[in-house]
Amino acid sequence: MRTYSTAPEERRWVLIRGFYSSWKRFLLLFEEYERRVKAFSVRYKTERSRLRLSPDDLGTLIDFKALEGLRDREVSLLRETSHDLFRSRDATDRFDNLVSIIYHELSALKEEHYTLREEFVREEEIEYDLFYREVNEYYPKRLRHIRNLYEKADRRLRELLPAMAEDPVVVRSLYLFGPGLLRGVLQGGLEDLYASMYPGGAVEGLAAAGDSFLRAGFREEAEEAYGRCLAAAESAPGPSKGKGRRRREDVLEGARGRLEAIRAERAAEGAA
């Protein structure tokens, strides 16, 4: 059963939110795995490549509940949304292929961890030695592979973003929730996405958010977005010449004019 609206712009926002939210959760899971491996290495005074953990210790390296929740909730919905937007009888976008592989890689990791936790016969020492050697290579290799898949999917999603640059739900939701959503995932945060989405980068992205809010009747939000747009222009000088400079100047002129109009209208209302 789908849990999102059938409106395309809402599905696009669900996709963006689901992708970066699941990526963030995966990175936390990966970082926790690395922390636990290093902790065991310190505890047993052994290099990580020479660690030989007991079944109980080995079973704690990955947070099984977090892994299960990531695959069954966020990545499952992400895959469904991606199929709906980017898959047809005739073609499948590369982003959708990468999301599907992420889902299947998480499934394989989940099954491997389940086997270790539930089905391993601890009494058979030879079997354990073999199994441990496999897991000792399998876990980090699989986790790094999933991390690389997310990075590739991010690059492809950046190429798709310009087609979403005028979707009201995407534009306003990115402005409102993008900073928190992207924190800890993209080093440049929302500015990184704006750079991929708009030729004028953050300046144009913030102006687009202001325009979208204004068209919808949200004057306070529009005023704030235009103010941030002008502040971004002051802190980050744009192109010195060419089409990029002219476009930036046009964006700033429009944002400045609409901001002044909002403030003048508010002042008039206060004087009435």
- Residue 57 buriedness (CB in 10 A; 0-12 / 13-18 / 19+): middle
pLDDT the model gives residue 88? 86
The answer for residues whose C-beta is within 8 angstroms of residue 58's C-beta and 6 or more apart is 116, 132, 135
- Which two three-digit tokens encode residue 204? 């144009």
Cα–Cα dist 31/12, whole Å? 29
DSSP 8-state class, residue 152: H
What's the chain's length in residues?
272
* Class of domain 176-271 (CATH, top level): mainly alpha
Delimit the domains of the chain by residue range: 8-164, 176-271
Kindly report the pTM of this predicted structure: 0.88
Residue 119 pLDDT more than 60?
no
Tell me the pLDDT tens digit for each residue of 165-186: 999 999 999 999 999 999 999 9
What pLDDT score was predicted for residue 135? 66
